[in-house]
Amino acid sequence: MLKIEGVSKLFNPGTVDEKIALLNANLHMKQGDFVTVIGSNGAGKSTLMNIISGVMKPDAGNIYIEGTEVSQLSEYSRSKWIGRVFQDPMAGTAPRMTIEENLAIAYKRGKPRGFSFGVNSKNRKVFREELSRLGIGLENRMTAKVGLLSGGERQALSLLMATFTRPQILLLDEHTAALDPARAELVTTLTENIVRELNLTTLMVTHNMEQAIRLGNRLIMMDKGKIILQVDEAQKQGLTVERLLGEFERISGKKMADDRVVLG
């Protein structure tokens, strides 16, 4: 489904500011795989997401989505396959527009340029049905401005918008990190439900070690641009935060330096 082969990305090559963001990264994901991504500061987690979504092009290596090599395709061209939710609840939605107007924009994503969109009685019905799947009453507030929603409600809406056009791949970039624990838990549960219902191939960056172990069927650990450990479904059973941090130390020869790490 998603194949990353020998992908590298260097910033400011040949200068004193040279940074290896990704070094020969390899990752194969099957349809429906849910991989959590952990790692130290500057390990390359966001770069990996950016390279998959097309925000950045790799310097070397290939990315295949369902057999199509996409590494040189634009972010726009890949958007039919990929939905993404960011850490900042402000990032995925337009605050001055209403919930239904935001959904109308999401609805257009991946459709040909010039495809007409807007809010009409037909798509309003679809929007209401989709919103009610979240189970938090947003279907009764469709004309409310998104800027008035809580952070958790906005992230729930971002999640719905990211998956509205049924992408194959969902990228979650610390999407619960800015929320208080109760709202983070709500968005986590919604995420698990949507991923399962739509059988999405999902990559989730998190600084929460307990969450990284609990969610998904696989886990990868990154350091200095490399994927240093891949934990499969069987190995993930019975894994503990202590063992995970121990593995990091054993492989990288240092303690995990992550100023945002949450142990559980």
Ligand X SMILES: Nc1ncnc2c1ncn2[C@@H]1O[C@H](COP(=O)(O)OP(=O)(O)OP(=O)(O)O)[C@@H](O)[C@H]1O
Give the footprint of ligand X on this chain (CB under 6 A). 11-12, 19, 21, 39, 41-47
Identity of the residue, 19 or 108, whose beta carbon is nearer to ligand X in the bound complex: 19
Query: Nearest approach, Cβ of 1 to ligand X (angstroms)?
Result: 23
Work out how close the CB of 176 gets to ligand X at its nearest, in angstroms, rounded to a whole number.
15
What is the C-alpha to C-alpha distance for residues 134 and 142, in angstroms, rounded to an integer?
Answer: 13
Q: Which is nearer to ligand X, 23 or 241 (CB)?
A: 23
**Distance between CA atoms of 226 and 39, rounded to whole angstroms?**
10
* Nearest distance from C-beta of residue 88 to ligand X, angstroms: 13
Q: Which is nearer to ligand X, 20 or 90 (CB)?
A: 20
Comparison of 44 and 83: residue with beta carbon closer to ligand X: 44
Q: Which is nearer to ligand X, 49 or 169 (CB)?
A: 49
Distance CA 48, CA 22 (A): 7
Q: Which is nearer to ligand X, 44 or 92 (CB)?
A: 44
* Furthest-apart CA atoms within the chain: distance in Å: 60
Decide: 89 and 74 in contact? Cβ < 8 Å: no
256, 249 in Cβ contact below 8 A?
Answer: yes
Helices and strands (H, E) in the chain, number of each type: 9, 10
Cα–Cα distance measured from residue 141 to residue 149, given in angstroms and rounded to the nearest whole number: 10
Smallest separation (angstroms) from ligand X to the CB of 42: 3
Helix 99-108 and helix 151-163, axial crossing angle in degrees, nearest 10: 30
Smallest distance, Å, CB 210 to ligand X?
17
Residue 21 C-beta: closest distance to ligand X, Å: 3
Q: To 5 degrees, how large is the angle CA 135–CA 176–CA 133? A: 15
